[in-house]
Amino acid sequence: MSNNTPLTISTFPHAIIHIDGDAFFASCEQARDPALRGKPVITGKERGIAASLSYEAKACGVQRGMRLSDIRKICPQVIMLPSDYETYSLLSQRFFSIVRRYTPDVEEYGIDECFADITGLQRPLNASYPKIASQIQADLARELGCTFSIGLAPNKVIAKVASKWKKPAGLTIIPGRDIHRYLNQLLVEKIWGIGHQTRSMLNKYNIYNALEFARQNEDWVKAHFYKPHYEIWQELNGRYVLELNTSEKQSYQSIQKVRTFTPPSSNRDFVYSQLAKNIENACIKARRYCLAAKRIVIFLRTQDFHDRGLEIKFSRPTAFPNEIIKVIFQAFNELFDPTKLYRTTGAFLQQLEEFQNKQLDLFGQSLKIEKLTRLWGAVDKIKKKYGKHTVYLGASFYANQFAQHQGARGALPTRKSNLFKGESSRRRLAIPMLAPPS
């Protein structure tokens, strides 16, 4: 089963870099307020858990997902902040724009990470591949006030290994001839794309580290694994297989919207309103991409983290929240228990397909669809001009009248509590409020 064929020794037939933000959300807060640098900072106060944490907080033993009450016990000096996703998103856009100064071939893989292809740019940029990666890293730190770790390698899988190798602010270069040195130090589950089930299967064949997997016979890999894992195997052997997806996302297989609120509630109308707002938000996104759903899954989560959910199929695809809310009313009544406290509601639009407003006229359906299309088209224009949820359904009244989080968790992020001139709570300029890096 073993294969003694050496890994490729070609250094960089392709030059792929993976750029990964270091504790990005917490770093954004430290960039906004230099007084927070060097201190244990977490975001997620509004959720009651650590959503993101600085390296100083990690050094204290804080882990992601830990409850605030537990964090206080092990790190009394921790600084807890509400998440400011508006600012994080704006800084993410700046992050990608800085990388695109060097190459147009950028795949936005997450809010704080991307792949970039810099193959053949040594002469145009008058710099070696390592120098280009270093310059990008320096630009990001200087202009955003956040650090990023970068991996340079012949393909995406190895670049991802490299970016994780030395954090924070690391720059790790893995040429083709050295791939085996790094893989021999990695457990196989640390490879991007290999999950728990694949790891378990590999372990059954006494394959525990990434190099052992890379050195398996190609026919054996094809016989035991599906295409995605065969492609990973090829890239572990230095081949360039997984091309960058540089196109903007145009479609979705499903759309999910989940809302956690505090304090937890047993008020039926309030909990139903939170679910209705989820459905409105999901439909807004579906209409933006001209999609309609054939079914929906709704769920309620109690304060003790027990979930109950139901799936509802529609008679025809739709992206109109008023139609969906009517359909899920009875399902909600089946799920809701007035003796329990609820903390989260969720809605998942599934079996999405391209929206077609020209359908067979069964009992006047085409006329109804045409009217709803015009109605929600007008609503979307109002929202685009004046802000999201300027117009909303009566079913989501309570969710729109009260803050999502109240009490200690209801503290607003700095960006929402300090507005620029001419801004409102519903409409703001696309400018993050940041202090200049010191």
Distance from the Cα of residue 121 to its chain's centroid: 30
Mark out the alpha helices in 50-125 (DSSP H runs). 55-59, 68-74, 85-99, 122-125
Does residue 415 form part of some domain?
Answer: no
Report residue 438's pLDDT band, with 50, 70 and 90 as the boundaries.
very low
Does residue 171 form part of some domain?
Answer: no
Query: In this structure, what token pair is assigned to residue 179?
Result: 């791939």
Residues 314 and 270 grouped into a single domain: yes
Burial class, 372, CB count within 10 angstroms (exposed 0-12 / middle 13-18 / buried 19+)? middle
Residues 206 and 107 grouped into a single domain: no
Residues 270 and 220 grouped into a single domain: no
Beta-strand runs (E) in 163-238: 171-173
- Known catalytic residues are 113
User: Who contacts 297 (Cβ-Cβ below 8 Å, separation ≥6)?
Assistant: 309, 310, 311, 312, 347, 348, 350
Residues 230 and 161 grouped into a single domain: no
Residues 300-314: what's their mean pLDDT?
92
* Dihedral (Cα; 98, 99, 100, 106), 10-degree rounding: -150
- pLDDT, tens only, 82-124: 888 888 989 999 999 999 999 999 999 989 999 999 999 999 9
Query: Which is it for strands 171-173 and 148-153: parallel, antiparallel or unpaired?
Result: parallel
- Cβ distance 395 to 401 under 8 Å? no
Does residue 412 form part of some domain?
Answer: no
Query: In this structure, what token pair is assigned to residue 46?
Result: 């509004």
CATH number where 199 lies: 1.10.150.20
Residues 158 and 181 grouped into a single domain: no
DSSP SS3 for 234: helix
Report residue 12's pLDDT band, with 50, 70 and 90 as the boundaries.
confident
Q: What is the pLDDT of residue 131?
A: 96
CATH number where 366 lies: 3.30.1490.100
User: Who contacts 116 (Cβ-Cβ below 8 Å, separation ≥6)?
Assistant: 16, 17, 19, 99, 102, 103, 105, 106, 107, 136, 244
Centre a 10 Å sphere on the Cβ of residue 157 and count the other Cβ atoms it contains. 29
Q: How far apart are CA 341 and CA 62, in angstroms?
A: 28
Query: In this structure, what token pair is assigned to residue 404?
Result: 């999502």
- Cβ distance 332 to 312 under 8 Å? no
- pLDDT, tens only, 39-92: 999 998 877 789 899 999 999 999 988 888 899 999 999 999 988 888 898 999
Does residue 34 form part of some domain?
Answer: yes
Q: What is the pLDDT of residue 6?
A: 40
Query: In this structure, what token pair is assigned to residue 281?
Result: 């938000």
Q: Which residues pair with 309 in a beta bridge?
A: 299
Nearest to 243, CA basis, from 356, 352, 156: 156
Residues 136 and 225 grouped into a single domain: no
Q: What total of structural domains would you count in the chain?
A: 3
- Could you give the C-alpha distances from 204 to 106, 113, 144, 201, in angstroms and in order? 38, 33, 46, 5
Residues 274 and 146 grouped into a single domain: no
- Which DSSP letter does residue 394 get? G
Q: What is the pLDDT of residue 83?
A: 87
- Could you give the C-alpha distances from 22 to 52, 117, 148, in angstroms and in order? 10, 21, 5
Does residue 2 form part of some domain?
Answer: no
Query: In this structure, what token pair is assigned to residue 146?
Result: 């956040």
| Range scoring the smallest mean pLDDT among 7-11, 230-234, 296-300, 426-430 | 7-11
Q: How far apart are CA 141 and CA 37, in angstroms?
A: 14
- Which DSSP letter does residue 150 get? E
- Cβ distance 175 to 129 under 8 Å? no
**Secondary structure element (H or E) that encloses residue 301, with its range:** strand 291-302
- Could you give the C-alpha distances from 370 to 215, 288, 322, 381, 401, in angstroms and in order? 59, 17, 15, 17, 31
Enter the pTM of the model.
0.74
Residues 304 and 379 grouped into a single domain: yes
CATH number where 23 lies: 3.30.70.270
Per the structure, the complete domain to which residue 194 belongs is given by: 176-236
Chosen domain end from 107, 133, 165: 165
Buried b (16+ CB within 10 A) or exposed e, 49-74: bbbbbbbbbbeeebeeebebeebeee
Does residue 249 form part of some domain?
Answer: no
User: Does 149 have pLDDT greater than 80?
Assistant: yes
Chosen domain end from 207, 236, 265: 236
Q: What is the pLDDT of residue 427?
A: 59
DSSP SS3 for 185: coil
- pLDDT, tens only, 341-399: 999 999 999 999 988 755 555 555 677 788 888 888 888 888 887 777 788 888 888 88
Q: What is the pLDDT of residue 7?
A: 40
Residues 131 and 207 grouped into a single domain: no
Nearest to 300, CA basis, from 324, 263, 254, 334: 334
- Which DSSP letter does residue 4 get? -
Does residue 219 form part of some domain?
Answer: yes
Percent of the chain predicted with pLDDT > 70? 86
Residues 146 and 269 grouped into a single domain: no
Does residue 379 form part of some domain?
Answer: yes
Query: In this structure, what token pair is assigned to residue 394?
Result: 């009566």
User: How long a stretch of residues is the chain?
Assistant: 438
Nearest to 156, CA basis, from 115, 109, 104: 115
Residues 194-210: what's their mean pLDDT?
94
Residues 22 and 79 grouped into a single domain: yes
Residues 149 and 188 grouped into a single domain: no
